[in-house]
Amino acid sequence: MTIVLSAALRRYVDRQVKNGRYLDASDVVREALRWMEAQTNSLSVLNGGQGDGDIMALASAVLMEAAKSARED
């Protein structure tokens, strides 16, 4: 599997590894996917089991990353 990240996301992943929080970039991506899955599951329960959880989780993740990037700038 090949994953292409924007320059900003690559820098974020690199910082996470450099700070010692993760062993490598794969660990960062796995954690992000676990978080996204948990958010999707939580939103699915809140939505009464409707199929909108994936879109809601993705939107939430994008907004959180944008806020984090804005704080770093």
Q: What digits encode the pLDDT tens for the residues 11-53?
A: 999 999 999 989 999 999 988 888 888 887 766 655 565 555 5
* Inside any domain, residue 20: no
Return the pLDDT at 52. Answer: 53
Tell me the C-alpha distance between 40 and 46, whole Å: 10
Look at the block and give the residue holding tokens 């010692």.
20
Supply the range of the domain harboring residue 61: 29-73
Tell me the C-alpha distance between 15 and 22, whole Å: 10
The three-state secondary structure class of 17 is helix
* Inside any domain, residue 10: no
Return the pLDDT at 27. Answer: 92
* Inside any domain, residue 44: yes
How many domains would you assign to the chain?
1
* Inside any domain, residue 15: no
Tell me the C-alpha distance between 31 and 70, whole Å: 22
